[in-house]
Amino acid sequence: MKPITPCLWFDNQVEEAVTFYVALFPNSKVGEMFRYGDHGPGPAGQVVTAQFELNGARFTALNGGPMFQFTEAVSFVIQCADQAEIDRYWTALSEGGAESQCGWLKDRFGLSWQVLPENMSDLIGGPDPAKAGRAVQAMLKMRKIDIAALEAARAG
């Protein structure tokens, strides 16, 4: 069986979005871009669909029009190695978008992301419910995740 490939529906920003995402994530590349010809239905030369990879994961993007919008019901999780990586992705993705809470944001295209430390489950979980509870309470007050603050909350 071939891999399952998510298809992201954009209004008319596929080329801009794909270029942005591929530049942001390592091990990424633009694949085939299919464009309208002289007989439409869109403007000649505009991208209809694009194939691309982000850190080795395959995606398709479609310029489908304004009928459907992204919602938080689907988001992409970025598991970051450290605070510097969280800060880098958070800054880039939130520019022109909207910050939410608990490490969630929407980028300027409306796509939802969770920018989290790779050990998030260890930070807010574990066998000690008091430590986990303190960390969760700290996380609920955050927009961008602050690893040091979560560790301090766990420690008490």
Q: What is d(CA 5, CA 10) in angstroms, rounded to the nearest whole number? A: 16
Please state whether beta strands 98-99 and 57-63 pair in parallel, antiparallel, or not at all (unpaired).
Answer: unpaired
Query: pTM here?
Result: 0.94
Q: What is the dihedral of CA 112, 116, 118, 121, to 10 degrees?
A: -100
CATH of 1-67, one of 3.30.2450.30, 3.30.720.100, 3.40.50.2300, 3.30.360.10: 3.30.720.100
For the stretch 58-90, pLDDT in tens is 999 999 999 999 999 999 999 999 999 999 999
Ranges in the chain, pLDDT < 70: none
CATH of 70-156, one of 3.10.180.10, 3.30.420.40, 3.40.50.10900, 3.40.50.720: 3.10.180.10
Please state whether beta strands 47-54 and 57-63 pair in parallel, antiparallel, or not at all (unpaired).
Answer: antiparallel
Q: What is the pLDDT of residue 102?
A: 98
> DSSP letters of 38-55?
TT-SS-TT-EEEEEEEET
- CATH 3.10.180.10 in the chain: give the residue spans: 70-156
- CATH 3.30.720.100 in the chain: give the residue spans: 1-67
